[in-house]
Amino acid sequence: MLLTPGPVPIPDFVMQAISKPVIPHRSADFEAFFATFKGKLQYFFQTEYEVCAMLGNGSLCFEAVMYSLFQKGDKIIVANFGKFSERWADYGRLIGLEVIDIQAEWGKAIPNDAIFAQLNKNIKSVILTHCETSTGVTQDIEEIAFEVKRQFPDCLILVDGISTIGAAPFYMDEWQVDAAAVSSQKALTNPTGTAFLAMSPLAIEKLRSTHAADALHVGNYLRYARENSYPYSAPVNLLYGIDAALSVIQQKTLPLVWNEIHHNAKVFRKELEKAGGVLFPENQADVLSVFSFPDIEMDFYRKKLKEKGIILSGGQDRLKSKIARIGHYYPIPAKLLGIICLTDLV
């Protein structure tokens, strides 16, 4: 049983959708499919803004957004509180940006005031990670975006929603988010390999110019998406799988999906506490639990679980061997819950 916070098990209805016959991506059939697909994607992001798809993982998509929006020397703020948000600060430096790298101890969120204190008219963007999947910490996107936009309406709010969009409350338009990215292997319950982006009119206006051959520039994907098309060879069958998942989410409604995932987390954490387990971070997101057991080496714990057919993720970097991470995109069967929360695995 794969219980990592991504990738997640692929449901049968997704696999069946992926297995449908291929259609040419330069065809009226694809255009008709993609027109409907975009509407479902807008519901998923809770936006009326433009949306597009990219072939690649979430990191590639989010780096593409940064690459497409900023020029060398631009000043950005990055809220850095774990392995993935650290990546955005590193990538900013890699492409020559002036990065104001606001850091917090792993397991803690960045205080909102620490971000506000660095704001000025020269800041092009504030880059936020909704859930830092390496630690389980969630950041208050709504409050931060509100204050940033109140002071500097032209400052772009970029959100890594890779592990949360579709799985936790996220309102792109209401929260004044300018660009948000998500990938296929989390709430969309699909194989890794596709990523999706929504961008506000302000963000689109600020895209730097490029050439049609620039396959990393999101402007090319958005331009083709307006015509219900895709700029390069489209991953048609992977999009079929996403479309099937989006249909189910839309039928159930997002609030119901969010509540189900909240319930999954609540049930697990109650059993964990009874067994003497300890949740690692403050501001724990619903999409995963990051935890440990006192006096147990967590890689050993995960090894014992794997022998029983249960796969969890471990810690990264400074948290290696110290924590385990379990996803809540699906409910944990009761018979497995007892095994996972059993402290004596020797």
Alpha-helical regions (H) of the chain: 12-18, 28-45, 58-69, 83-94, 112-116, 141-151, 201-205, 218-225, 236-252, 254-274, 298-307, 334-340
Looking at the fold, whether 208 and 151 belong to one and the same domain comes out as: yes
Report the pLDDT averaged over residues 279-298: 91
Between CA 175 and CA 205 the distance in angstroms is: 19
DSSP string, 66-117: HHHH--TT-EEEEEE-SHHHHHHHHHHHHTT-EEEEEE--TTSPPPHHHHHT
Tokens of 105: 């101890």
Look at 113-122, 124-133, 278-287, 300-309 and tell me which has the smallest mean pLDDT.
Answer: 278-287
Q: From residue 51, how far is each of 44, 121, 178, 196 by CA, in Å?
A: 10, 28, 12, 7
Q: Token pair 């909704």 is at which residue?
A: 130
- Is residue 167 classed exposed, middle or buried when 0-12, 13-18 and 19+ CB atoms within 10 A define those classes? buried
27 lies in some domain: yes
Looking at the fold, whether 60 and 157 belong to one and the same domain comes out as: yes
CATH number at residue 336: 3.90.1150.10
Domain count for the chain: 2
Looking at the fold, whether 204 and 74 belong to one and the same domain comes out as: yes
Looking at the fold, whether 149 and 294 belong to one and the same domain comes out as: no
| pLDDT tens digits, 18-27 | 999 999 999 9
Name the residue among 325, 343, 222 with its Cα closest to residue 6.
Answer: 325
What mean pLDDT, rounded, does the chain reach?
96
325 lies in some domain: yes
Neighbours of 101 (CB within 10 A): 16
Whether this model's pTM surpasses 0.75: yes
- SS3 label, residue 45: helix
Name the residue among 207, 237, 239 with its Cα closest to residue 223.
Answer: 207
Looking at the fold, whether 197 and 118 belong to one and the same domain comes out as: yes
End-of-domain residue from the set 252, 272, 293 = 252
Report the pLDDT averaged over residues 188-202: 98
Between CA 186 and CA 167 the distance in angstroms is: 8
Query: Can you name the residues that pair with 75 across neighbouring β-strands?
Result: 98, 123
Range of the domain at 96: 12-252
Between CA 187 and CA 285 the distance in angstroms is: 14
Confidence of residue 338 (pLDDT cuts 50, 70, 90): confident
336 lies in some domain: yes
Between CA 280 and CA 106 the distance in angstroms is: 10
